[in-house]
Amino acid sequence: MPRNLDQHLALEAIRITGAYLDGQGISKPIRIIIAGGVAGLLGQYLNQSRTTADCDVLNNVDDESWGLLQEAVAKVAGELDLPKGWLNRESRIYQHCFAIGWEDRAVEIGRFGPLDVRIISRKDLIASKIVSAITRQYDLEDLQAIKPTEQELDFVSDHLDRLEAEDLDAKCYNKERAILNSLRGGTHE
């Protein structure tokens, strides 16, 4: 049975992956920064009942390291009965939508053998959900549960300004701003 990745299983899978790489004699550090639902769970930004089926790696990992990592990921998938692509980098295509400096803001989860695991910061998760809430209504449900602070919303506002200023097709981000503004007031500091 393919199992879903909750917080504990995700950590266990990552730990075993690191141990496998270590056992293969790989010493060169491999840094991964995880986004999406697993980041929300590991950072405890999101309620545990949120469905997450995979670890979305957002940063660039060189092809050689990625190949080694995928070999370990396949072994762990078999061992823990996880979906084959439980750790993938399909979300990299959305990298450009993240706020400048997201890699520097990433939060350390731990070092597992050569595997250096981080997750995106809470405010980067909030920013990504504000953008995706237009096409996935449950992201707004998540945001209302997360209760972003005014400071976090100001950060996202600046990010939206930048996205708009840089967009070559002059895309307007008014919908995203409306989502953001709906979260103002009634937030916690």
Partner 1 sequence: MNDSIKTTDIIESQWARLGVLFNCALASATPDLERLLLDTARQLHHNGRLLPLISTWLVEHGLYVARHRLKRLIVEELEPEHQPALGLLLETAVEHGAPAELRRLCKVCIPSTDPSPLSVSFHTKPALIEIAQQTASELSKKWGLWSPAIQLKHDAICPSSWIRTHNPSLLPRLIRRGDLRCSILEVFARDLDNSASSISELARLTNATRPAVYDAVESLVCEGELIQHSRQVVLLSVA
Among 16, 61, 125, 179, binds partner 1 (CB under 8 A): 179
Per-residue b or e along 92-128, where b marks 16 or more CB atoms closer than 10 Å to that residue's CB: eeeeeebbeebbebbeebeebbbbbbbbbbbbbbbbb
Among 4, 59, 95, 149, binds partner 1 (CB under 8 A): 4
Binding residues among 118-147 for partner 1 as defined by CB under 8 A: 134-141, 144
C-alpha 123/C-alpha 153 separation (Å) is 8
CB nearer to partner 1: give 60 or 138: 138
CB nearer to partner 1: give 68 or 146: 146
Binding residues among 34-63 for partner 1 as defined by CB under 8 A: 41, 48-54
Integer CA distances (angstroms), 141 to 32, 61, 80, 126, 147, in order: 28, 32, 31, 12, 10
Does 19 interact with partner 1 (rule: CB under 8 A)? no
CB nearer to partner 1: give 100 or 178: 178
Neighbouring residues of 16: CB distance < 8 A, sequence distance ≥ 6: 76, 79, 80
What percent of the residues of the chain are helix, what percent strand, and what percent coil, each to the nearest 5?
55, 10, 35
C-alpha 130/C-alpha 183 separation (Å) is 10
Does 93 interact with partner 1 (rule: CB under 8 A)? no
Q: How far is the CB of 145 from partner 1 (least distance, A)?
A: 9
CB nearer to partner 1: give 107 or 134: 134
State the residues that interact with partner 1 by CB under 8 A.
1-4, 6, 41, 48-54, 83, 85, 134-141, 144, 175, 178-179, 181-182
